Amino acid sequence: MTNRSCVIRLSRYKNALLRLRTLNFVRVFSENLADAAGVTATQVRKDFSIFGITGNRRGGYKVDELIEQLNKILGKDKIQKFILVGMGNLGKALVQYAGFERSGIKIVAGFDIDANKWDKEGPVPICPLEELSEVIRRHEIEFGIITVPDFAAQQVLELMIPAGIRGVLNFAPICVKGPEGCVVNNINLVTELENIIYFVNASEKTQESQQ
């Protein structure tokens, strides 16, 4: 099956392969990718088998071919266009994040209700929220990022969907819900830190009880 974890692993394999290519690796074994992605070699081969990716028994996988196949699966055979709503600290950082452009991800425009944030001259134009729908339609954009405060997040999602957005990454600290057929992933930064705090505390307790 192709669940979220499996697809996340494919991205990791691809990232590792890009690095190996810069080191002039021509072939790679499942064991190598497993080390780089922090999983087992069996897991790597199983993942590949799900997507019909094959290598050479005894000879591993050719780095170039593997990158090409993973890029195809992950939609990296073309530039993927995003819009972003909410030009707070996080929104500004993401719009400027060089890693996106480098990976074939282009944030076409940012949006905010606050006129002080508008700026059509910069490398990424920041527009009034009223123009959201028009920009999405004009550029035929399917993907969005939400970095507004919690109370505004669901409303923003409901502006995006009818304009044509089909996939959203939401950073507002609330689980927003899209209609059937719309993909929404939520990243809550506080939750991520709480998760780390929990497991550190849990391991402390385990160590104490072992003493």
Partner DNA sequence: TAGATTGTTAATCGATTAACAATC
Residues that bind DNA (CB under 7 A): 1, 3, 5-6, 29-31, 39-43, 45-46, 48-49, 53-61
Q: Is residue 80 a contact point for a copy of itself (CB under 8 A)?
A: yes
Q: 177 to each of 151, 157, 170, how far by Cα in Å?
A: 13, 8, 10
β-pair type (183-186, 167-170): parallel
How near is the Cβ of 29 to DNA at its closest, in Å?
Answer: 4
Q: Is residue 131 a contact point for a copy of itself (CB under 8 A)?
A: no
- Taking the least distance from each CB to a copy of itself, the nearer of 52 and 59 is 52
Q: Is residue 205 a contact point for a copy of itself (CB under 8 A)?
A: no
Amino acid at 173: P
Q: Is the separation of the CB atoms in 141 and 165 below 8 Å?
A: yes
Instruction: Give me 151's structure tokens.
Output: 């109370």
How near is the Cβ of 133 to a copy of itself at its closest, in Å?
Answer: 19
156: nearest Cα among 132, 184, 189: 132
How near is the Cβ of 132 to a copy of itself at its closest, in Å?
Answer: 18
Query: What's 130's DSSP letter?
Result: G
56 binds, among DNA, a copy of itself, none (CB under 5 to 8 A by kind): DNA
